[in-house]
Every structure is written in structure tokens, then in C-alpha cells.
A = this chain, B = another copy of it.
Amino acid sequence: MKKFESIHDVDVLSTWLAQAKEIKQDPYKWDTLGKNKTLLMIFFNSSLRTRLSTQKAALNLGMHVMVLDVNQGAWKLETEVGVVMDGDKPEHLLEAIPVMGAYCDIIAVRSFASLSSKTEDYSEKILHQFIQYAGKPVISMEAATLHPLQSFADMITVEQYKKTARPKVVLTWAPHPKALPQAVANSFAQWSVAMDYDVVITHPVGYELSEEFTAGARVTNNQEEAFKDADFIYAKNWSAFNDSHYGEVLSTDRSWCVDAPKMALTNAAYFMHCLPVRRNMIVSDEVIDSLKSLVIEEAANRVVSAQTVLLNMLK
């Protein structure tokens, strides 16, 4: 297994879910598989959950872990090809990537969307340069357009709590003070459709996601209608994807906040969010503090998700 950047890199999803279940029950079952193997984690953007959960997953498999914060304790990296490097960037990714590859067995990379250029973000330039030049397997720890470790953890969580074979899973936009990437939403749509859940996406007009990821889901601008009979509510903010407003905040409508009256419309749905979450913007205290909130369990499953990916890469 050479890379993990989307669900397309999973050979048989049902096998992965079974492995995840086994890892959850016995996290140290393969604690010598990673002996003398090193995971290098590279962060172009800050991280709490991803940093700790991926590190923990590797340690559970007996791997060594090295963490590098780029642009903070390390070099600023040039990413353009063919330039005369007479500016403030002393090193090119063309050297930095294969060198990093030389120092480890698996590379994990986090690099968010800039939201300044849709073409550049959706080409996944940095992640694909790592895949092309590292010479070692590459794991996305959230790239510009997808966050597969999160989505796999989300699927593990839904499987753990679902009460019907094909639950109704609702991805709802919610307000946020800053412009955020579409990565978590894109990725959740992609994975939940692949799981053959009954997927509904709801958001204000103008927040349509790429059909590359949402094909197979129903889309509505009526949040209350979407919530009806839902088994899982997955809240997330994202900025506009459409060409003329890419990366913009089109709405700060707080009526989209997930609160108790809206949850009352559902089939006693569980509440999910990838965290970090803005309380009383995305979700009310009442909902996130309720017994139906799965946010901590979801975050805990990030270890299981990462460990399953690493297991398949090491095997």
C-alpha cells in the first residue's frame, strides 16, 4: 500500500472495518509489527487530535515516531519548480521530500487548503509532491480537499452506534466565524456514500460541495427537512466551493446552529463533529453535552483509524 489519501486507496472497506474492530478490542495485538520502522509526521499546519492520535497509533504498533513542524523549527520550503531561489525560502521540496523519505519508513503529511486558489487546492499539489518524490508510503493527515483519517474514524463510529443496517446520516453545514476548507465535508460525503448509508447533505444556498465527492447523496437547503428521521447528525462548517466565491464565507446565519429543537426532529439521532468545535456557533452546549453526543468517542476512534492504515502499510 503506497498511499492513503482517499477512500480509493482502501482495497476492501469491510476488511478494514473488521481490522479496526480488532484493533479497538486489543490495541497492542501487533505491538512488534513496527519494530525498527519509523513514522515521520510532517505538519505544515497545526494539529492536536491528528498529531496525538496518529503518534499513538504508531506507538501501539511498536513503531518509532519523529515529528517535524515545517515553517516552525524547520525550513520554509519552496514549492515552485524552476525558480531562482534568491528569496526567503532556503530549500526546495524537491530536495526536502526525498531526504525526509530517506529518514523514515512511512511519511504522514498535513497540509491544509490555502483557500486562495481553487485550482491549486484541488490539485493537491503538496500532498502529490510527497507521493511522487518521497520514495516511501505517504499518509494524508488532512490535505487540501480530503481528510481520510477523520472520515474512516467517523465510519468506525457510525458502525459502532448504528441501530439499523442502513442509517440515515445527515451532513449539515453550520456557521463559523472564519473561512474553513471543504476537506472534512468532502471526505465525509465520499466515505458515507461508499458505506451505502442513506446520506443527506444540507447547507444554505451557495455552499454546494464538489459532486466528485457528493455523488450518491441527496442535497437540500432545508435543514429541518433534512433532520427528519435522521440517525446521525454530522455538523461541519465549510467555505464556498463554487468558482466565483471559492473560499468565501457566504453566510453566518446562526439559525443553522445545531440545537435541541432541531435534534428533536430526528430519530433520536447521535450528534457528531470532527472537533475542534465552536460551541454555540456550530452546536449548542445542550446538544454537545448530551448523552447522544459522540464527539469524544469519534476522536478516540482516530487512533483506531490511523492504526488500521499503518497496519495495512506495514503488512
Residues from chain B with Cβ under 8 Å of A52 in the complex: 40, 66, 68, 100, 103-104
Whether A73 contacts B72 by the Cβ 8 Å rule is: yes
- Other-chain residue from B38, B74, B279 in contact with A59 (beta carbon distance below 8 A): B38
* Interface flag for A31 (CB, 8 Å): yes
Overall SS of chain A's interface: mixed
Interface size class of A (residues with CB under 8 A): 35 or more
- Other-chain residue from B48, B90, B285 in contact with A96 (beta carbon distance below 8 A): B48
Whether B74 contacts A51 by the Cβ 8 Å rule is: yes
Beyond the given pairs A56-B66, A72-B73, A95-B295, 18 more chain A to chain B contacts, judged by CB atoms under 8 angstroms and listed by A's residue number, are A46-B74, A48-B91, A48-B96, A49-B99, A51-B74, A52-B103, A52-B104, A56-B104, A82-B280, A86-B177, A87-B177, A91-B277, A92-B279, A94-B289, A95-B277, A95-B288, A96-B276, A99-B300
- Other-chain residue from B36, B103, B177 in contact with A31 (beta carbon distance below 8 A): B36
- Tell me the bound Cα distance from A27 to B289 in angstroms: 44
**How far in angstroms is the closest Cβ of chain B from A165?**
28
